[in-house]
Structure 1
Amino acid sequence: MPKAGEPLGDFRYRVSDLGFPISEEGMQMVQKLRKEQEKRDQDGKGMFIYNDWNGRGMSELMENFLIDFNKDIFKKTMSHFKKWAYVEGLACFVKSAHLMDWMGNEDGLGVEEIIHMLGVMVLTSFSMLSEHSLFKPDSEVKNIGVMSLLLLEFLHGPATDFDCVWGPEVVRLCDEAGFELDKDLRKQIELTKENLQDMRDLAWIPEDDSSEDGSEKVCYPWDWELEYEQFKMYHEGGNEYDLTNMSEEDREAYTLETKAYARRIGIDSDSEPDPDPDSGSDSDSDSDSDSDSDSDSDSDSDSDSDSDSDSDSDQLNKQE
């Protein structure tokens, strides 16, 4: 770093070992994603609705994110830097967010479709930058390489079990544009040069989408408009998993360690505790005692009655 009082100069374009370069718009996008995730986090709010609530909430969040991107990407009045903020926000979010619930969601196919669409979003953003001559190493957008690596780390790490094929295409396009991804690797990114080379070996080429004899091109697999038109039919987004939309009464009913939660799951927290098991024996003892007492009393009564009967019999004999 420059000494105190020295101009920043080229240091403006360097990345420290303490973090990643991100624009103000990109940071706002990260914060928005985090806030939306918090709204759908039952654990963070001390609640329990069902196991997959957080995972399905994350899918809903990402669907809303893609809906917003679809609205903005073709706006001619919107700055390309603001459009790029979607990629910045996504890259930094998947780097820092807790993704286990999402990756382990029982709707694995739905998660895979969302991740595929996120890849199409990234590649569409590359095309957008290219149209403005900004997809190049000396671009005004200074973090293309780093953001690409963060996304590749996500595919290689948390999303490794999903059939996501857009990673090699990211590497191919970056290589063709002159970005040196190998040099952009740093200790904060859990990716190696070998991982990048593996992706290069798998990169898509035009021949992959041609007919067997090569005479007919089938389609480009990353066309946003075509892919999103199909995607949105099954991924409508919304706010179903936004816990802040629940009524206060419903939130209490699903909040752990509350009386409302106990009543909902069938435990009446206001009921009297079970009596002491020993108290029953005391009662039995008292009952037995009463029974014995009654028995003794009956026995004494019978004895007295017999005695009186004998006495009367003797008196009659004497009179005779």
Structure 2
Amino acid sequence: MPRTKRTLVDADPNSECSMPQKSSKGKERATSGSAETTIANSIDASNEGTEDDNAFSETSCSHLGSSSLRKCSSLNTNPPTVNSATEPKFIFICRPHWDIGAEQLDMEYETPDDEDTSPADFVCKASVNDRSEWAWTITEAGLRKYEQLEKQALNRDQDAQGLWIYNDYTAYGINEVVDNWLKDFNTEVSRRTVSPYAVWAELEAVSMFLQLDYIDIWFQGDDCRGFAETIALVGKALLTGLHILKNHQLLNPYQPENGGLRNISIVLAMFVQFARSWTNIAGDHFGETKWVPKLGELAKENSIEIKGSYKFHERHQELLEPEEDSSPRNELKKRKKKIHFSEGTWGIVSLVDADSDDDDDIKDNGDYSVKGWKDSFKTYAKGHIRSGRKTIGGTQYDITKMSKFEKKRFQLGGESGFYF
């Protein structure tokens, strides 16, 4: 049986969104994602229903297509393209059930004897008339990009596709999805005229994609160094995107009266949570999460509070703090020695302190301009391009691109497949 994936959302500010609704074709729309239910064509699919989007009120709430994402504000009938320079429209979405789950788990340990506790007690109850503090929003362009990333991941999930190829196949497939995103981000920031809102849509999308259970599968793969380099470049992309926002006077805390990027705090928080997910599983052996303290410093300089998810500061604030010289990582570096021969006549062996910049560390030139990004992306791509290709990413791990004969070879319980 395909495993159930952790999707983006499961509850929302309005109680009427908590139950599945019927589509125009009479099929029940899922309230949470699974291997069979992904977020697909939600903006366009909403036009297929019987409801008129133009009559959609501020206090109503509806499913977006076949997705578990629900919109709690009126949609623009002509949504902006990803490259639009106009200020984007934000959609209110439901609080992700993985965030609710973290609260439920926490409360279960704090009050294990409370039998009256229900999932509804953990839904963030935002007023339908005043949602200025509701963290969970996304632009329409960001939502469409997120849908693409989740669909790419599903296509590379051997479990969901009923195949068994080898242990880490899906992990490499997810890395391919992230590489595709890095390539798209590079395209976006390399345009002659860069749209800061298009760049923000890219960052929104990947910040939410990096919360899905697919990421845990990715982290379990056996290419620790390669994945660490990818994570480091994701951080570089974030800092580059924020540099672009700053150049357009958009790197500011959101204030309802002044407008701006209303989800900037929660998007940055999700990037930090992503880094924490990696360090919890694999640690930080190559300096791949050094971008997190830099993010904290940049946010502080621009008066942006990184927050939004359950107990963010309690669980993740330490990652944002500058690394001290007394940290275990730096202590390890201080203890490292290397041996070389002195230049003396007798060639006496000498023990000399290793270079403070460990040879194994992933290099970061500290340049978060577009030029600095391009240099880092070029270096990364050179080391990650697979044989016979001209760029990173692609569809090598996309199972839907396989022929029927190839699929039959790996089909679970099939004529030539594996049995359990």
Fold similarity call, TM over 0.5:
yes
Q: Deviations over 1:185-223 (max 9, x none)?
A: 442xx632473245223299xxxxxxx9xxxxx952543
Tell whether 2:413 aligns with 1:257: yes
The 10-residue stretch of structure 1 (81-90 or 153-162) with the greater mean CA deviation from structure 2 = 153-162
Contact 1:145/1:174, CA 8 A, preserved across alignment: no
1:256 is displaced (CA, Å) by 0.7
Please report the RMSD computed on the Cα atoms of aligned residues, expressed in angstroms. Answer: 3.0
Q: Which residue of 2 aligns with 1:277?
A: none
Tell whether 2:404 aligns with 1:248: yes
Contact 2:188/2:198, CA 8 A, preserved across alignment: no
Contact 2:250/2:261, CA 8 A, preserved across alignment: yes
Tell whether 2:274 aligns with 1:154: yes
SS of the residue 2:225 aligns to: helix
Q: Which residue of 2 aligns with 1:128?
A: 244
1:12 is displaced (CA, Å) by 5.0
Q: Which residue of 1 aligns with 2:296?
A: 171
Larger radius of gyration: 1
Contact 2:295/2:320, CA 8 A, preserved across alignment: no
1:245 is displaced (CA, Å) by 1.1
Q: Deviations over 1:165-192 (max 9, x none)?
A: 11111111001000123xx3442xx632
Partners of 1:155 and 1:5 in 2: CA distance: 35
Task: Please give the TM-score of this superposition, normalised by the length of structure 1.
Answer: 0.68
Q: Deviations over 1:109-163 (max 9, x none)?
A: 1100000000000001001101110001145211111100111011112444234
1:98 is displaced (CA, Å) by 2.5
Matches within 5 A, 1:1-320: 11=130, 13-15=132-134, 20-77=136-193, 79-138=195-254, 140-160=260-280, 161-162=283-284, 163=287, 164-181=289-306, 184-187=307-310, 191-193=312-314, 195-202=316-323, 219-220=365-366, 222=368, 223-235=372-384, 236-261=392-417
Residue 258 and residue 186 in structure 1: after superposition, are their counterparts in 2 closer, same or farther (change >3 A)? closer
More strand by share: 2
More helix by share: 1
Partners of 2:129 and 2:252 in 1: CA distance: 18
By relative contact order (CA 8 Å, sep 6+), the higher-ranking structure is: 1
Residue 192 and residue 77 in structure 1: after superposition, are their counterparts in 2 closer, same or farther (change >3 A)? same
Residue 245 and residue 220 in structure 1: after superposition, are their counterparts in 2 closer, same or farther (change >3 A)? same
Partners of 2:324 and 2:246 in 1: CA distance: 19
Gap runs ≥5 in structure 2: 1-12, 15-56, 60-126, 326-355, 357-363, 385-391
Partners of 1:151 and 1:30 in 2: CA distance: 14
Gap runs ≥5 in structure 1: 205-211, 213-217, 266-320
Contact 2:142/2:205, CA 8 A, preserved across alignment: yes
SS of the residue 1:22 aligns to: strand
Contact 2:174/2:214, CA 8 A, preserved across alignment: no
1:31 is displaced (CA, Å) by 0.7
1:253 is displaced (CA, Å) by 1.5
Partners of 2:236 and 2:218 in 1: CA distance: 19
Contact 2:273/2:316, CA 8 A, preserved across alignment: no
Contact 1:26/1:85, CA 8 A, preserved across alignment: yes
